[in-house]
Amino acid sequence: MQAASRLKIGISACFMHADPQRALFTGKTLQYVEQSIAHWVMSTGALAVMIPSPGGATQRGDVTLDHYAQWLDGLVLHGGADVSPLSYGEQPLQERWVGDKIRDEYEIDLVAAFERQGKPVFGVCRGLQLLNVAYGGTLYQDIETQVPRSLRHRDAAVYDKNFHGVEIVAGSRLAALYPGAQRLRVNSIHHQAVKDLAPEFEIEAVSHDDGIVEAIRRRDASRPFLAAVQWHPEFHLPGTDPAAIDDAALLEDFLAAAAAALPKLSK
């Protein structure tokens, strides 16, 4: 397949903010993508492109997030630092949950740019939480603190091999992607979660054990594609857990939406 015919999918950047105590890149801000998410996007032939944030007052040149949204065919928001409670009108319950408001603002602007272009957005883990906040929802700052008798959704000892079951909402698009399946087995690496769902979305899956929201999608299918999962499909590698779902259907659904938008944009 020629490069010109491949879908170009943007991936939002993770931030490592300037730290004068860091031995490497001392005092410099780094922006990067985690390798597995790029490989997942590329697994069906799409091109993965990291989208850096504009430089604000220090920016050189006139490139904006809208330029990237015009050029690319879709956007993936991936995992990383906590969403800041300040981004949804709350104060952090603990200092360690302050999150990354700078990244929040960048990604909210990025989602808005792709929305203006009518192009699809898919969120993974933090990406689900960011989408919910961007459209008016709120989060649990820490599941174990705020949800009594909750499942342990993040276990540092096993990290991406922490698996649990999720229940699919009947009649949802997710149910259509996995016909005949009522429960999926997925990995779980998060301590934040949806508290108040944004009006724009509907729930497509919840944790079997405690009802934590695990998948959301925009209610209005006539509007640009917005969907997200709380788990990490990019970590579902062969042999990791034989019972875990095949996440290819999620990626194909998102890429199909990107491909479907192309003729509309060229008219």
Any catalytic annotation for residue 214?
no
Catalytic residue among 78, 164, 190, 232: 232
Residue 240 is predicted with a pLDDT of 67
pLDDT for 164-186, tens place per residue?
Answer: 889 999 999 999 999 988 898 88
Residue 188 is predicted with a pLDDT of 84
Catalytic residue among 14, 78, 107, 125: 125
Any catalytic annotation for residue 14?
no
List the alpha helices (DSSP H) in the chain: 35-42, 65-71, 101-116, 126-134, 143-146, 173-177, 248-266
Q: Are 186 and 231 in contact (CB under 8 A)?
A: yes
Residue 266 is predicted with a pLDDT of 43
CA distance 179 to 219: 20
Any catalytic annotation for residue 125?
yes
Output the pTM of the full model: 0.92
Regions of the chain with pLDDT less than 50: 265-267
